[in-house]
Structure 1
Amino acid sequence: MLKHLSAAGVVSVVSMAVATPALAQDGDPLVAGVEAAFPPWAYVEDGAYKGIAIDAMRAIAEDQGLTVEFKDLPWPSLIPALAKGRIDLLVTGLNVTEARAKVLDFSIPWWENDDEVLVAADSDHNVVTALCCGATVGAQGGATQYEWLQANLVDRDVDVTLRAYEDYITAVEDLGTGRLDAVVTSTDTAEELIDKGRPIRIVGTIQQNQPQALAVQEGDPKGLLAQLNAGIVNISESGQWAEIVKTYSPQASIRPIPTTMPDYVDSYQTPIPGYTP
């Protein structure tokens, strides 16, 4: 639902490979798909992959004796590439949804997110006017934020124009030039963009409690879930996970791992590979 809603009428780079220093078990590195334009989870800076998901995956690989390479793909290509076995896992901050659970298998969840409504820093919009009344709203095409806007605004005949973007950086740039009235993105991405000095501000929160996890091909044909789950637990218990999160998102609260997971995720039914509650 929308918090701080004060009026009725609105429903609340580059492509490269970087290997970890860990030893592979079978000689072949795992190919981890990322969207390297999604701070603070995955991005490129000075020619190197950085971000919460990047560093966490490196730590998991080292813990489990694996080797991993990161492959940057546009967001709309990531899930199809994994479903077809063109990559081995997906490590960008990936929201768990029922539709995705039908074509992917998920690790134990390591994060939960809400979404934020962003406007330009000098905008007069509030959370109501940003999402109605002829506003043009941007979100990443295929992302859960775009799907929420489509289902809760466009499909309910709220007077908005919804635009899909390949990444949120471009959407926020269009917000600054006046091509958009609002952008909806995850809380951690919104906070990261503000911390980096983008001239934007948050006018409202869409409370989602959306779990995020790593993903592998449906059926886990390479048997990765047990190692991924064990590695996630180990870096959490060692404190390494908290250090990684705070490096990229100092204001973030560290959630207990695992966070909650919806019942529709088949790969999270007892016994969970590599994890004993």
Structure 2
Amino acid sequence: MKKLFAVLLVLVMVLSFAACGGGKEAATDDTADIPTYKVAMEPTFPPFDTINEETQELDGFDYDLMNTIAEDQGFKLEWVNMGFDGLIPALQAGNIDIIASGMNASEERREKVDFSTTYYDSGLVLAVKAGNTAIKSIDDLTADMKAGGQIGTTGADLATELYETGKIKEAKIYNGLDVAVMDLLNGTIDVLINDLPVTKAYMDAKPGTIEIVGDVLNAESYGYAVKKGNTELLEKINTGMQNMIDNGTFDEIYAKWFE
């Protein structure tokens, strides 16, 4: 009986190990080889970069565009909310892999990071509180006025330049455009210098509160940024972008946010 029991015990153990081995093989995850990239945006730049009111998650044109590129090219994304001035330093340090945040692919920035094919042409405009008849263009700014812009942007650069040349009294630089718009409405600043489509988005959200004056300034083009030398990731983004243009998906996403 003892021998029979021992034999049965061995058989049970063998079958158990076989079952465990089979289970392990069946549980192999094919998604383990799919790369995941960390992508950052500053979400006070609608309609490119914003927060969904219902889900309170990141949203916008850049969000939809980059997610579709990732799906097309077979990689995953981990989204991060980050201040605009911290985006390039974070990319250079390797803390993030992609910047998707309505960033102007300027020559100065190209010295620090590599940009994808640009996907949107924009320019700066001056915004004033509705009813302000004193400012009709940049030429109407005076030495007793204050101008605002978002930190790290060309709008902030122009505001700073106007201050340094004595054209205005103060350049007030903000971490987020939502606060800048609030200060424009309460009179803390006289004019806000910002990108045209973003200014229009704020106008649409709160009709009759702010107005655009003068001509479009400093034409610029937006692109997605990767760390210098990361040609593999850059090629994926560019290929995905071109595929979207070719199959019409780009136009569908554009219409969702701009029409």
Aligned to 2:226: 216
Q: SS of 1:213's equivalent?
A: strand
From 180, 185, 201, give the equivalent of 2:194.
185
Report if the CA contact (8 A) 2:35-2:75 is conserved: no
Aligned length: 226
Distance 2:46 2:173 in 1: 18
Please state if 1:154 is matched with 2:163: yes
Aligned to 2:10: none
C-alpha displacement at 1:35, in angstroms?
0.6
Q: SS of 1:138's equivalent?
A: strand
Check 1:80–1:214 CA distance in 2 against 1; reply closer, same or farther (3 A cut): same
Distance 1:161 1:91 in 2: 30
Distance 2:32 2:112 in 1: 27
TM-score norm. by structure 2 comes to 0.82
Check 1:25–1:60 CA distance in 2 against 1; reply closer, same or farther (3 A cut): farther
C-alpha displacement at 1:24, in angstroms?
6.2
Specify every segment of 5 or more residues in structure 2 that has no aligned partner in the other structure, as ranges.
Answer: 1-29
Name the structure with the higher helix share: 2
The structure whose Rg is larger is 2
Aligned to 1:125: 134
Report if the CA contact (8 A) 1:135-1:181 is conserved: yes
Aligned to 2:204: 195
Please state if 1:32 is matched with 2:39: yes
Check 1:157–1:230 CA distance in 2 against 1; reply closer, same or farther (3 A cut): same
Distance 1:170 1:115 in 2: 18
Task: State the identity as a percent.
Answer: 27
Check 1:25–1:214 CA distance in 2 against 1; reply closer, same or farther (3 A cut): farther
Check 1:186–1:25 CA distance in 2 against 1; reply closer, same or farther (3 A cut): farther
Q: Which amino acid aligns with 2:246?
A: E
Specify every segment of 5 or more residues in structure 1 that has no aligned partner in the other structure, as ranges.
Answer: 1-22, 251-277
C-alpha displacement at 1:87, in angstroms?
0.2
Q: Which amino acid aligns with 1:181?
A: D
Q: What RMSD over aligned residues (CA atoms) do the two structures have, in Å?
A: 1.8
Q: Which amino acid aligns with 2:215?
A: T
